[in-house]
């Protein structure tokens, strides 16, 4: 199972989650999930969200190095700034992966996986005190 987690960048709170069975690309899970993001919110993703700009105008993704080319100094600086911002996301992932059920292959009933991930995310939010 592959999970998509949406996080509030101001207080690191998990807003919503979705999942897909098998090996599915992150952006594909985002499209299939039907998550609607308000127009005032800035969406930050990784390089896997390449087509998100066509769906959602207020989104930031890092620049990819062109084939047989180099990134400009401004693009490198932007990628560095964005990676510093995305560290928050990686810290949230680390904190919820403390739970063994998210570390290893899930071998239980698939119908209960999203429920268990939701409970873990709820415990994480409770621990934040938000």
Which residues make beta-bridge pairs with 16? 6
Question: In this structure, what token pair is assigned to residue 105?
Answer: 């292959």
pLDDT tens-digit readout, 2-30:
777 888 888 889 888 888 777 777 778 88
Report the C-alpha gap between 6 and 89 in whole angstroms: 9
**Beta carbons of 28 and 20 less than 8 angstroms apart:** yes
What pTM was estimated for this model as a whole?
Answer: 0.76
- Sorted by where each begins, the domain ranges of the chain are 2-128
Q: What is the mean pLDDT of the chain?
A: 83
């Amino acid at each position: 199972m592959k999970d998509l987690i949406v996080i509030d960048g101001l207080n690191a709170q998990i807003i919503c989650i979705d999942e897909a069975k098998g090996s599915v690309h992150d952006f594909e899970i985002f499209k299939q999930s039907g998550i609607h993001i308000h127009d005032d919110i800035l969406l930050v993703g990784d390089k896997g969200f390449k087509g998100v700009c066509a769906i959602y105008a207020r989104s930031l993704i890092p620049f990819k190095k062109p084939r047989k080319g180099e990134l400009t100094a401004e693009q490198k600086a932007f990628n560095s700034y964005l990676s510093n911002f995305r560290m928050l996301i990686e810290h949230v992932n680390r904190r919820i992966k403390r739970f063994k059920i998210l570390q290893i292959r899930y071998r239980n009933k698939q119908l209960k996986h999203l429920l268990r991930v939701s409970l873990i995310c709820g415990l994480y939010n409770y621990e934040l005190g938000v």
